[in-house]
A and B are shown apart, each in its own frame.
Chain A
Amino acid sequence: MNSLPADIGGPGLYAVEFGDIVNYFTPYTAVLFVFALVFTALAIASRPERQVDIIFGGDGYYTKDIEPAKLGFQRFMAIACGLATLGAVVSGDVFNFTLFTSMVGITNIGIVAAYTNRHVLNAAFQYGIVAMIATVPLFGGAAIILATTGTLSMWELFGPAIAVPLIAKAFLILGVMGEGMAPFYVAKAEITRAPGAPYVLMIHVSSLLLFLRVTEIVLSM
Chain B
Amino acid sequence: MTGPLYIAGLAVAFAGILVAFYAIMRESDDFHRILLTDLAEILALVLIALVATDLAEALILPGLVVGISELMAVSEVYLVKEGLFRPQYPPLSIEVMDTAPAILTLALVAYGIVLSGFTGGAVAGVGAVFYMMCRGHDERFAVIEAASGYAWALWIAAFFIFMVAPQYWLFAVMTAGGALLLKVAGKMSLVGTMRGGSNE
A residues within 8 Å of B by Cβ?
95, 99, 102-103, 105-106, 109-110, 113, 116, 118, 121-122, 124-125, 128-129, 131-133, 135-140, 142-144, 146-150, 152
Q: Is the CB of B80 within 8 A of A116?
A: yes
* Cβ of B44 under 8 Å from chain A: yes
Residue of B whose beta carbon sits closest to that of A115: B80
Q: Is the CB of A113 within 8 A of B80?
A: yes
Beyond A139-B47, A143-B44, A143-B59, list 14 extra A-B contacts (CB 8 Å): A106-B70, A109-B70, A109-B77, A110-B73, A113-B76, A121-B77, A122-B81, A128-B73, A132-B38, A132-B41, A133-B40, A136-B41, A143-B50, A143-B56
Q: Is the CB of A136 within 8 A of B48?
A: no
Contact of B33 among A124, A129, A146, A149 (CB under 8 A): A129
Known A121-B80, A135-B41, A143-B59: A128·B74 in contact at CB below 8 Å: yes
The A interface, classified by DSSP as helix, strand, loop or mixed, is helix
Bound-complex Cα distance A131 to B37 (A): 10
Residue of B whose beta carbon sits closest to that of A121: B81
Q: Is the CB of A99 within 8 A of B66?
A: yes
Contact of B55 among A116, A129, A144, A146 (CB under 8 A): A146
Contact of A106 among B1, B30, B37, B69 (CB under 8 A): B69
Q: Return 25 A-B CB contacts under 8 Å, by A number.
A: A99-B66, A103-B66, A106-B70, A109-B73, A109-B77, A113-B80, A121-B81, A122-B81, A125-B30, A125-B77, A129-B37, A129-B74, A131-B70, A132-B41, A132-B74, A133-B21, A133-B40, A135-B41, A135-B44, A135-B70, A136-B20, A139-B45, A143-B47, A148-B2, A149-B1
Q: Is the CB of A102 within 8 A of B70?
A: yes
Contacts of B45 in A (CB 8 A): 139
* Cβ of B157 under 8 Å from chain A: no
B residues within 8 Å of A by Cβ?
1-2, 6, 10, 13, 17, 20-21, 24, 30, 33-34, 37-38, 40-41, 43-45, 47-48, 50-51, 55-56, 59, 62-63, 66-67, 69-71, 73-74, 76-78, 80-81
Q: Is the CB of B66 within 8 A of A102?
A: yes
Q: Name the 6 nearest CB pairs between A and B, nearest first.
A: A128-B74, A140-B47, A121-B81, A143-B48, A139-B44, A136-B44
The B interface, classified by DSSP as helix, strand, loop or mixed, is helix
Q: Is the CB of A136 within 8 A of B6?
A: no
Residue of B whose beta carbon sits closest to that of A112: B77
Contacts of B41 in A (CB 8 A): 132-133, 135-136
Bound-complex Cα distance A146 to B6 (A): 12
Bound-complex Cα distance A186 to B30 (A): 16
Q: Is the CB of A140 within 8 A of B56?
A: no
Bound-complex Cα distance A96 to B181 (A): 30
Contacts of A137 in B (CB 8 A): 44
Bound-complex Cα distance A144 to B43 (A): 13
CB distance from B26 to the nearest CB of A (A): 14
Q: Is the CB of A135 within 8 A of B80?
A: no
Contact of A132 among B2, B51, B71 (CB under 8 A): B71
CB distance from B85 to the nearest CB of A (A): 13
Contacts of B78 in A (CB 8 A): 125
Residue of A whose beta carbon sits closest to that of B62: A99
Contacts of A124 in B (CB 8 A): 77
Bound-complex Cα distance A131 to B76 (A): 15
Q: Is the CB of B2 within 8 A of A147?
A: yes
CB distance from A193 to the nearest CB of B (A): 14
Q: Is the CB of A132 within 8 A of B67?
A: yes
